Each structure stands twice: as structure tokens, then as C-alpha cells.
Amino acid sequence: MIKTNNNGLLIVISGPSGTGKGTIIKEIVKDNANMWLSISTTTRDMRPGDIKDETYFFITKEQFEEKIKKDDFLEYAIVHHNQYYGTNKEDVLKRLNKGYDVILEIDINGASQIKQKYPEAIFIFILPPSMEELRKRLTARKTESKEKVIERFKAAYKEINEITKYNYVVVNDEVQIAVNKIKSILTAEKCRVDRIEEVYLNTPEEIMHEDLADIN
């Protein structure tokens, strides 16, 4: 009886480093042909393990700044030694218009930019079960110096203070439970009344109802 908006959902997922955002997103995207994880553009150098146009789109600083002038990004930022990172507008909007759900894994600053340009996006914040658990996860990596871990831990406090700018919060205590919660959120969002474009009343069911109403 209804025709719904078939555009995909734009899903913004943020949270402090160490909360397991990447692991959760991999599980959500896995085996879902209608889900696309946005690939960011960056000016940083390729690292071991990087795959061009799969891990990131790698371009020069000059190319990135030209794209800024053309308003080619949904959001962008300068981070880590003046390196640019951004989300390509054309790639995202093209997939949304084709009905794909698009996930952006970005920080709170990027999320704020998205909210200004695309307020109907779904904003989900991932929390650790506790700050103590977050500390354990950060130190367990053993890939960063003590100073870097402390820096990330302090940044986490600042990020958590921005939680009220998001629509949903999910605590990642167990990955599969967190994944199931996010899937439930997305299912509910697809059932929102404001996604209805038209209601058809002249259907066989409605005609039957009118016929029954005419019976004395």
C-alpha cells in the first residue's frame, strides 16, 4: 500500500580509537551486497599493507586542495603532520541514489561537517564498556609508544563529550552484540514514516473494504 524512498542510508560511525569501530563495520558490511564502506581520499604516503584505491585514494596535496575548491568533499580535515583526509561527495551520493547504504567511519569533526550538509544521515557513536577497558585495548596493541597511547586516551575523553550530537550510542562490550544492535537500528530507520513517499489507497484491499462497508 505504500511506496517508500529507495535511497540508501548514509551511516556515520564514530568513536574513540580502540573502541573496535573497524571490527564492527567489517561484520556489518560482510556478506551484505547492499552495503558500501566509503573509501577516503588522503595525501599521506602509502604504507606497507596499503592497497591503492582500496585502502585509500592517494593523491597529492595540490590535487586535494583543488578538490576542496570544487567542493568535491562531503567532509575533510587536516590531521597528522598536515596530511589531508576527506570523503568523496560524488562516490557517496552516487551509491545512495542507487539504493546502497553507505558507511562512513570518521571522527567527530567530520561527523559535524556531514550533519550540516546531510542532516538526515544516521549518526552512531561507539563506546568502550569502560575507560579502563579502553586503556587495556590501547596498550594491548603494542604498536604505539606510551606517549601516543596517553594522547589517544586524552582524546577519547574529549570525543565522548560530543556524544549528544549523535542519534545513537552503542557500547562495544561484545562485538556480535554491538553489531546486532546497529543492524537493528538500520532496520528501524528503514521503517521510518518520513521515508514514505506515497500511500496507495486504491488497492484491492481498499476496494474490498469499501464493498464491505456498503453491505447493510
Within a domain: residue 168?
yes
Which residues form the domain of 161? 2-38+100-213
pLDDT in tens, 50-88: 999 999 999 999 999 999 999 999 999 998 678 999 999
User: What residues have CB less than 8 Å from 36, skipping those under 6 apart?
Assistant: 29, 95, 100, 101, 102, 103
Identify the three-state secondary structure at position 8: coil
Within a domain: residue 202?
yes
pLDDT at 210 (0 to 100): 59
CATH number of domain containing 130: 3.40.50.300
The total of structural domains in the chain comes to 1
pLDDT at 140 (0 to 100): 81
pLDDT along the chain (216 residues), means of 10: 82 94 96 95 92 94 97 92 92 96 96 95 96 84 76 86 95 96 96 80 61 59
Within a domain: residue 135?
yes
pLDDT at 139 (0 to 100): 82
